[in-house]
Amino acid sequence: MASMPAPALEISGLEKTYAGGTRALNGVSLTIQKGDFFALLGPNGAGKTTLIGIIVGLVNKTGGTVTIFGTDARNEPEKTRAHIGLVPQNVNLDFFGKVIDIVVNQGGYYGIPRSIATSRAEEILKGLGLFEKRFDAVRTLSGGMQRRVMIARALIHDPQFLVLDEPTAGVDVELRRSMWDYLTGLTKRGVTILLTTHYLEEAEQLAKRVAIINKGEIVVNGTMEEVLALHDDSSAGNGGYRGSKLEEVFIKLTQDKP
Amino acid sequence: MTPYQKWISFYTMLRKDVVRMTRIWPQTFLPSVVTSALYFLIFGAFLGSKIGEVHGVPYVMFVVPGLVMLAVVTNAYMNTSFTMFMSKFFARNIDEILVSPTPAWVIVAGYVAGGLVRGIAIGSLVLVVSLFFTNLIVSHALVIVLFLVLTSLVFSLAGFVNGVYAKSIDGINIVPTFVLTPLVYLGGVFYSAQSLPGLWGSLTRFDPVFYIINGFRYGFLGVSDVPIMVSVGVLVALAVLFTAISIYLIKVGLGLRQ
């Protein structure tokens, strides 16, 4: 009998307290199976970006374990980082650099020879509609294009696990939909995706599994159907407004109780 | 990562920095060349004839090694402190490397190599400029090369440490202005320690730049205020110390990882 493949991500009892004493994560446990499209949702300051920071190695945890494809991220950080591609929340591009150079250089940091990285970068940029802009300086691009450059940069080493921290923030609807199509295509190729977003309809359409984090703790974790089943059809939204089912569940689980 | 992949990552960092510094050559290469030419003009044509000879050579010839070292020290230092600070503070594109599997020592080597290249390039340019003002004696060519490389390395490493620690733009300007420049000027650029009265002559020996300038000067003139091996020893000790600090800083992520 074939053994089960290791999960893409396995987090256990993860804790993070910042130097100033702020407790951002309070014993978070989470498992994302290989090939999942997983949405991590939560209000501002819930701990999403801290959690992602720990997964990719930009934030040092104060407790717990993080395992990527069966490898402990603390013991073998170089091995686990090789599997991950990160699209951060804030644009962190070298604004004086050209699009193609930024993507190819990123390949270099993963040990990909320049000639291979260049042809791979051109292919990815074509897929993201940026090929014509490849010799443009990043500072001349629109915000939406800069976000796509960050996606291209995250994909250059062909990661098995893509982490997207609000990749569509500030992106217009048309572009957002084309990014959804692109990301869905990646999951069909077996790439595992962890997405954080404030666009709940985006999560509802894309993700198969979802977790909601609030005040550093996971308040719900399951398939999209399981989470949507928590919706109370009799409830009315604020001022009579009714959002999507996921939005209603989100508000119910994250709002401060009196 | 395989050794070849580490080499690609290192080369990518170095290439990116060399492209940057050559793109903005009026800011990176020109100022030191112009400043040095002014020094040679003042100490050669205007003041040199009045001062006479030092260590049996015309004064302008005596100050050439010191002025070359002044340019090397400041340029190697500023290159790494500036690039590290800019990439962690403004664009935050240091994360591109931190999320990659590139090991800490390769990250240090990649950044420091940029400073090394700039230090050697500036030193060579200033030496060429000096030929317009004086003839150069070369007593020990290998010593000249050794000190040019080791000095660029040491101050590139020191700049890297400064860049990692700095929390504001002032943090990378204070050290060159209030520490480096006095150390270089008081390290015997313009005079021989033998000419200093008792206490000052003793104090100069606590200045590491004194050993560097004397070692470099020995390569040209064949004379030095201190044994050449002592100068080499000071440089090697500083290189080992700053390398250890730099790798430690990247490994623990001080100032880079939260």
Q: Taking each helix axis from N to C terminus, what angle separates B141-165 and B208-221, rounded to the nearest 10 degrees?
A: 160
The residue in chain B having the minimum alpha-carbon distance to the alpha carbon of residue A85 is B99
Per-residue model confidence (pLDDT) at position B224: 82
Residue B51 lies in a domain: yes
Domain count, chain B: 1
CB contact under 8 A, A105 and B102: no
Residue B53 lies in a domain: yes
The residue in chain A having the minimum alpha-carbon distance to the alpha carbon of residue B254 is A60
Per-residue model confidence (pLDDT) at position A184: 87
> In whole angstroms, what separates CA B8 from the centre of its chain?
26
Tell me which amino acid residue A181 is: D
CB contact under 8 A, B2 and A111: yes
As a whole number of angstroms, the distance between CA A40 and CA A195 comes to: 6
A105 in contact with B, Cβ within 8 Å: yes
Beta strands in chain A (DSSP E): 9-17, 23-32, 37-41, 63-68, 71-72, 84-87, 161-165, 192-196, 209-214, 217-223
Provide residues of B within 8 Å CB-CB of chain A.
1-2, 4-6, 8-9, 11-13, 15-16, 20, 87, 91-93, 95-103, 252-253, 257-258
- Sorted by where each starts, the structural domains of chain A and their CATH numbers stand as 9-68+161-254 (3.40.50.300)
Nearest Cα to Cα of residue A194 among A59, A82, A30, A14: A30
Which residues of chain A have a CB within 8 Å of the CB of B5? 110-112
Check pLDDT > 60 for residue A1: no
pLDDT tens-place string over residues A185-220: 888 888 999 999 888 888 888 888 999 998 888 888
Check pLDDT > 60 for residue A257: no
Per-residue pLDDT 10s for chain B (258 aa) are: 899 999 999 999 999 999 999 999 999 999 999 999 998 888 777 777 777 777 778 888 888 998 999 999 999 999 999 999 988 888 788 889 999 999 999 999 999 999 999 999 999 999 999 998 888 888 899 999 999 999 999 999 999 999 998 888 888 888 888 888 888 888 888 877 777 777 777 778 888 888 998 899 999 988 888 889 999 999 999 999 999 999 999 988 877 777
Say what the ipTM of the complex is. Answer: 0.85
Residue B125 · residue B32 · CB < 8 Å: yes
Query: How is B68-107 classified by DSSP, letter by letter?
Result: HHHHHHHHHHHHHHHHHHHHHHTS-TTHHHHTSS--HHHH
Strand partners, A25: A16
Considering only CB atoms, B99 lies closest to which of A50, A86, A93, namely: A86
Per-residue model confidence (pLDDT) at position A230: 75
Which residues of chain A have a CB within 8 Å of the CB of B99? 56-58, 81, 84, 86
Query: How is A218-248 classified by DSSP, letter by letter?
Result: EEEEEEHHHHHTT--TT---GGG----HHHH
Considering only CB atoms, A105 lies closest to which of B4, B6, B16, namely: B16
CB contact under 8 A, B258 and A59: yes
Per-residue model confidence (pLDDT) at position A238: 52
Check pLDDT > 70 for residue A241: no
Per-residue model confidence (pLDDT) at position B168: 86
Per-residue model confidence (pLDDT) at position A111: 95
Which residues of chain A have a CB within 8 Å of the CB of B101? 77-79, 81-82, 110-111
Per-residue model confidence (pLDDT) at position A224: 84
As a whole number of angstroms, the distance between CA B210 and CA A244 comes to: 72
Least confident residue range of A49-53, A96-100, B135-139, B247-251: B135-139
Per-residue model confidence (pLDDT) at position B88: 86
A59 in contact with B, Cβ within 8 Å: yes
Residue B127 · residue B136 · CB < 8 Å: yes
Per-residue model confidence (pLDDT) at position B136: 84
CB contact under 8 A, A110 and B95: no
Per-residue model confidence (pLDDT) at position B50: 76
Check pLDDT > 70 for residue A256: no
Nearest Cα to Cα of residue A197 among A213, A216, A219, A218: A213
Mean pLDDT confidence for A136-157: 92
CB contact under 8 A, B1 and A96: no
CB contact under 8 A, A82 and B253: no
Residue B136, SS3 per DSSP: coil
Shortest distance between the Cα of B92 and any Cα of chain A, in A, equals: 5
The residue in chain B having the minimum alpha-carbon distance to the alpha carbon of residue A78 is B101
Residue B17, SS3 per DSSP: helix
Residue B258 lies in a domain: no
Nearest Cα to Cα of residue A121 among A98, A141, A140: A98
With pLDDT > 70 as the criterion, what percentage of chain A qualifies?
93
A231 or A135: which leads in pLDDT: A135
Residue B257 lies in a domain: no
Which residues of chain B have a CB within 8 Å of the CB of A59? 257-258
Q: For residue B225, count CB atoms less than 10 angstroms from its CB and return exposed for 0-12, middle for 13-18, buried for 19 or more.
A: buried
| Geometric angle at alpha carbon A200, from A66 and A89, rounded to 5° | 50
Domain residue limits at B159: 3-252
Per-residue model confidence (pLDDT) at position A3: 67
Residue B75 lies in a domain: yes
Check pLDDT > 70 for residue A239: no
